[in-house]
Amino acid sequence: MLRLLLLRHAKSSWSDPGQSDFDRPLNSRGRDAAPAMAKFMALNGLLPQRVVCSTARRARETLALMLPAIAADMDVTLTRRLYETDGEGYLTAARSAAGTANTMMLIGHNPAMEDLAMVLAPTGDAAALAQLREKFPTCGLAVIEFDDPRWDAAGPGAGHLIAFHTPKSIEEAG
């Protein structure tokens, strides 16, 4: 069984109107949410063997704040492609980087993140599906599992949304 973790970057700052979107840093809420989500992931066995992360500053900062809790023996790839592409491009990035990993994580942006989750996993946990359809908030984590053990078979409709976690939901649970 394969597992794809889709993590939207943590909350970013809009305090500098002259700053490019690509260079926006995390705000204080984002700097709190990223390590909290990582701790939750570690406690719940949601540890990726491979990570592909957007090179946008807010995504890189999200990953950096998460690494102390989730870093084990994992491969990390940084790519601008996740900043510039759509859901289909995210799927291509996951397939090409996954290799032999059973658990793969993408750290990126909306609307591509939400689009990919909806296309890959039209079935699964009813509450998680309803929450995902409502909103994919910053630092939200979609957990999608595939029955087929080959990443090239991970495609539209092939996945099941097992869980959808947000900073708010892990705070309420914890």
Percent of the chain with pLDDT over 90: 90
pLDDT in tens, 37-60: 999 999 999 999 999 999 999 999
| Average pLDDT in the chain | 94
* pLDDT value, residue 78: 96
Q: How confident is the model at residue 146 (pLDDT cuts 50, 70, 90)?
A: very high
How many whole angstroms separate alpha carbon 165 and alpha carbon 149?
24
How many whole angstroms separate alpha carbon 47 and alpha carbon 120?
20
Name which of 145, 117, 119, 144 is nearest 132 in CA terms: 117
- Quote the CATH superfamily of domain 2-173: Phosphoglycerate mutase-like (3.40.50.1240)
Residue 72 above 80 pLDDT? no
R_g of the chain, CA atoms, integer Å:
15
β 159-165/123-124 pair status:
parallel
* Interval 73-81 mean pLDDT: 92
pLDDT in tens, 79-126: 999 999 999 999 999 999 988 999 999 999 999 999 999 999 999 999
Measured at the alpha carbon of residue 109, what is the angle toward residues 17 and 89, in degrees to the nearest 5?
130
* pLDDT value, residue 132: 93
Residue 71 above 90 pLDDT? no
Q: Which residues contact 151 (CB under 8 A, 6 or more apart)?
A: 2, 94, 95, 98, 104
Cis check: omega of the bond before 111, within 30 degrees of 0: yes
* pLDDT value, residue 27: 96
Residue that the structure tokens 């909103």 belong to: 135
Sheet with strand 75-79: strands edge to edge:
75-79, 50-54, 103-108, 2-8, 141-146, 159-165, 123-124
Q: Where are the domains of the chain?
A: 2-173
pTM for the full model? Answer: 0.96
